[in-house]
Amino acid sequence: MTSRYAQLAFTPAVRGRQRLHGSRTTYARIEQGPEQADRFTPEEAEFIATRDSLYLASTGESGWPYVQHRGGPPGFLHVLDETTLAFADFRGNRQYITTGNLQGNDKVALLLMDYPRRIRLKILGVATYDEDPAPELVRSLTTTGYRAIVERVILIKLAAYDWNCPQHITPRYTAKEVEESTSELRARITWLEKENAALRASLR
């Protein structure tokens, strides 16, 4: 956990709960760093570049939080520089809750998951959106051949990030990951089936 993430996440109420449950001393030390935005390192950039989905939380005028799933081909979320993320926002169910929320509160939280390796990256940032982005920007954020309508580009200015522990993350795998990890096994099974068929034929 970075100092900046702790400074933003640990409100007075949160610090009170930490004191109550005995973890305040440990976390108080984490908060002692500089009060400036975090910067992505190559480690975060590499992790982000391989994600095919994210969870994006915003807060509406009613005070209720809203969590949205966003996905695309691996790498659809781009690190433009050390403090900026961007992605092409594809047309979904057209409720526009997130973009509506951002008009009143531009603070967002992102959760990026790697289920097979049981890793998660939490990001706090300030989001803006462009519903008339330059064509060259759209091209740089989209994958050729991916069939989806780009409605806008969402930009997120990094405030802080935190790598979370793997505890309680259940490993999950995509169909492609399962296919890749079992390819040698399936090839071996195919070979054995052919060998068995040949042996049965030779015994007739």
* Domain region containing 9: 1-36
Query: Is 118 in contact with 169 (CB distance < 8 Å)?
Result: yes
Same domain, 141 and 43: yes
Closest CA to 48 of 154, 119, 105, 151: 119
Same domain, 77 and 155: yes
Averaged pLDDT, 70-90? 93
Give the model's confidence band at 186: pLDDT under 50 very low, under 70 low, under 90 confident, else very high.
very high
Nearest alpha carbon to residue 105 among 66, 54, 55: 66
Share of the chain above pLDDT 90, in %: 79
Q: What is the pLDDT of residues 48-70, one digit of tens each?
A: 999 999 999 999 999 999 999 99
- What was the pLDDT predicted at 12? 96
Cα–Cα nearest to 71, from 94, 58, 93, 54: 54
Residue 76: which CATH number? 2.30.110.10
From the list 10, 13, 44, the residue with the least C-alpha distance to 27 is: 10
H or E stretch including 179?
helix 175-181
Read off the pLDDT of residues 97-140 as tens digits, 9 standing for 90 and up: 999 999 999 999 999 999 999 999 999 999 999 999 899 999 89
On whether both 43 and 112 belong to a single domain, the answer is: yes
Are residue 200 and residue 149 in the same domain, yes or no?
Answer: no
